[in-house]
Structure 1
Amino acid sequence: MPDVSVCRAEELGRAEREAWCAFRAADPLLASPYFSLDFLDAMAGVRHDVRVLVTREAGRPAAFLPLHTGLLGHARPLGGPLGDHHGLIAEPGARIDLARLVEAGGIAVYDFFGVPGNQGAFRAHGRIEDGSWVIDLSEGFDAYLARRTALEPKAFRNLRARERKIEEAGAVLRVDDRRAHVLEAGLAWKSAQYRRTGHLDVFSVGWTRDLMSALLASRGETRGLVSSLEIGGRLAAVHVGMRSARVMHYWFPSYDPDFSQFGPGLALLMRLAQALSEDGVQEIHLGPGDYDFKAQLGSWQFPLVRGYVGRPSFAGAVRALAGSLERAGDALPRPVGGLPGRVFRRIDLMAGIHAR
């Protein structure tokens, strides 16, 4: 069995935190703010179920797996339903047996859905089901814009037409908007969108709002970022996200429906990309999802792995049964096909959002 310990975020010592930062710096796909110690500490401050599995080799830290523990040993990725990206923060070349790691950590079942595809420890227990779109700003905003315009001329022609309308009405971008009413408006618009589209409102529970506040108060490398676009002197669009030194995660965009004819959400994103490219941001991660705007604006994708790992236990048996039903449902024709999977994901989403 590997040398594995389980600890709280605040129990990670200086050696562990230095190793975590070194592992992150060595893997470009770990540059996302989701893999930072700042995000771990913010989550640990608003939820009591945050733990870290620490693997050591010859006494030195070799890998970290942050997660949320749950009933009957059922664990979920750090961030719960807000955690678009997650996985191991590991030493380059480390050979991690995920099943043995989870078992040594006393976990019965660990579900995952947004692990970067380069993490081989997870591929043995899941499959690539999606990808996270990336706006590549590494050569600057102008180079990005020219490349995407050439590949998606119609989409960017429409963006330019709406941009002209916004300019005529008068537009003001605030990249780092600290005004309290802007954050509240953004979250309120997002909650209304969730209800309107039949999705679970992730801001209906206290810890998600507390997390936003903690990230916005962070003075670390990763921090929350509220950005806004005013049109004609009125607040039209808000984005609530987070950024690390070189990656911004596109998280919770929202807008006032009264301004829908302007396309304010995409206008804010494009202006934000231009501003952040001048402040060291090289990538904007749009996350997974089959949305036209992500395919049109995204430069490329990195694959994401979904699956679970479990050991013989009651929780493991229940999860295996759910997995069997999900696979059987996927083989059926629409609209029945895929229904079990959607039901189980909805149940898991509710369990993750209401846990503390």
Structure 2
Amino acid sequence: MRSMSSDTDITIHRPDELSTSHHKAWHEAMDASPDYANPFLAPEFTAGVDRHRGGVRVAVLHQRGEPVGFLPYERNAVGVGRAVGLGLSDCQALVHRPGVTWDTRALLRACRLSVFEFDHLVEGQQPFAPYMTGSFASPVIDLKVGSDDYPQWLRGAYPGLAKTTLKKERRLARDLGEMRFVFDERDPAALRTLMRWKSAQYRRTGRMDRFARPWIVDLVEDLFEVREEHFTGVLSVVYAGDRPVAAHFGPRSRTVFAPWFTAYDPELRYYSPGLIMHLRMAEAAGRDGIRVMDMGRGDKEWKDWLKTRELRVCEGFATRPHPVSAAHRLWRRPVRGLRNTVNAHPALREPADRLLKTVGTLRTSSRTQPGRPDGHRSDSDSDRAGPLAS
């Protein structure tokens, strides 16, 4: 499908219709600006979502016959669009060459969208600015190539955390066996263990169990196999002896690592295995050439401990005049507003967390059979506590 917007030619494609030259231009646009280096902005992530969820399209912006910008999106039957992977992706954007701009309403017409919803849009996408309803901190860690000696790196990077973390690691090694960290684990069984732990954590804490959705399980298993320059699925595991203690799966590009799913063996929660995992990942990622660890939007105590600075991401609804866009905003905006209000105020967030955990306890008690490993529960298990309990 082809449309015109001022001097910009817009064509619409399914992800599997994009040519090698399209992929090359998309990767070049990612490389041209650090704003677009996040692996969630890579065509490989878009293609994965389309393979397992479907309904994904890519608007390709051309100037003078050259592809200069790429907007991946999902579209439903009535023309409501959303950023690809909304609810899973921690970074969204129209990825483009420097200096490229566009008319947002013309873009929506070309995409046959009445509304385009986003919640982690890269700040600086000025054509979307009139449609942004909120801006939020996205903490990052600026990584440096560290020493081959992990304790030395930890004392230099996080002196306030080093003493207690190293003490817990020594205790874990004494109790279970020698500590071992694998940054890029290729064993699919370890990935299945991570998803089982994470699913149990979602249920304990009353959150939506993402891994109860087969398409998300299939997507994660698919992305685990992707090994490309701009997108590689990385599974990291902390072992004590031969026993996995904590695990994480997330994508990396050449320079940016995006933490995504972290979980741990709930029997070992008192060792703070999630925090150990994130510190080990940061050290290893820096040695592997990664420069930024983008922890994603969210007010969590552990992110404040580890961050070196913050990016900004935006949420909102780009619209053009249409009855569907008006109805969608009336339905979605109050829900978002309530969620953001609760998350922004500890006096509201803490009771909400307690309520969710109570619901999670009842749900787990009713569903968990005796002897199953995911029957363990801890009052410290909450998304608010971050990797200390994730």
2:102 match: 96
Alpha-carbon RMSD: 2.6
Is 1:36 aligned to 2:42, yes or no? Answer: yes
Deviates more, 1:211-220 or 1:251-260: 211-220
Please state how far the C-alpha of 1:38 moved relative to its aligned partner.
Answer: 1.8
Distance 1:325 1:189, change over 3 A: closer
Distance 1:328 1:139, change over 3 A: closer
Distance 2:336 2:251 in 1: 35
Distance 2:16 2:188 in 1: 29
1:201 match: 209
Which structure 2 residues correspond to residues 29-178 of structure 1 after superposition, within 5 A? 29-138=35-144, 140=146, 145=154, 148-149=157-158, 153=160, 155-169=161-175, 170-178=178-186
* Equivalent residue for 2:225, pick from 217, 224, 241: 217
Question: What is the total number of aligned residue pairs between the two structures?
Answer: 334
Distance 1:106 1:291, change over 3 A: same
Aligned amino acid, residue 5 of structure 1 = T
Q: Helix, strand or coil for the counterpart of 1:275? A: helix
Please state how far the C-alpha of 1:239 moved relative to its aligned partner.
Answer: 0.6
Please state how far the C-alpha of 1:148 moved relative to its aligned partner.
Answer: 4.9
1:278 match: 287
Please state how far the C-alpha of 1:278 moved relative to its aligned partner.
Answer: 1.4
Q: Which whole-Å deviations, capped at 9, do the CAs of 1:252-300 have from their partners, x for residues lacking one?
A: 0000111111111111221122222111111111111111001110111
**Do the aligned partners of 1:99 and 1:311 also contact (CA within 8 Å) in 2?**
yes
Distance 2:276 2:311 in 1: 25
1:265 match: 274
Q: Helix, strand or coil for the counterpart of 1:81? A: coil
Distance 1:206 1:321 in 2: 30
**Do the aligned partners of 1:108 and 1:315 also contact (CA within 8 Å) in 2?**
yes
Aligned amino acid, residue 235 of structure 2 = V
**Do the aligned partners of 2:153 and 2:283 also contact (CA within 8 Å) in 1?**
no
Identity %: 30
Distance 2:24 2:336 in 1: 41
**Do the aligned partners of 2:259 and 2:293 also contact (CA within 8 Å) in 1?**
yes
**Do the aligned partners of 2:86 and 2:119 also contact (CA within 8 Å) in 1?**
no
Please state how far the C-alpha of 1:41 moved relative to its aligned partner.
Answer: 2.3
1:310 match: 319
1:189 match: 197
Distance 1:82 1:41 in 2: 14
Structure 1: tracts of 5 or more residues without a match: 340-356
Q: Which whole-Å deviations, capped at 9, do the CAs of 1:1-59 have from their partners, x for residues lacking one?
A: 51222111122223322221111111102111111122122222223211001122222
**Do the aligned partners of 1:137 and 1:144 also contact (CA within 8 Å) in 2?**
no
Distance 2:17 2:82 in 1: 20
Distance 1:118 1:232, change over 3 A: same
Deviates more, 1:98-107 or 1:193-202: 98-107
Q: Helix, strand or coil for the counterpart of 1:82? A: coil
Aligned amino acid, residue 203 of structure 1 = F
Q: Which whole-Å deviations, capped at 9, do the CAs of 1:164-214 have from their partners, x for residues lacking one?
A: 323434211122222232111110110111111111111111111111121
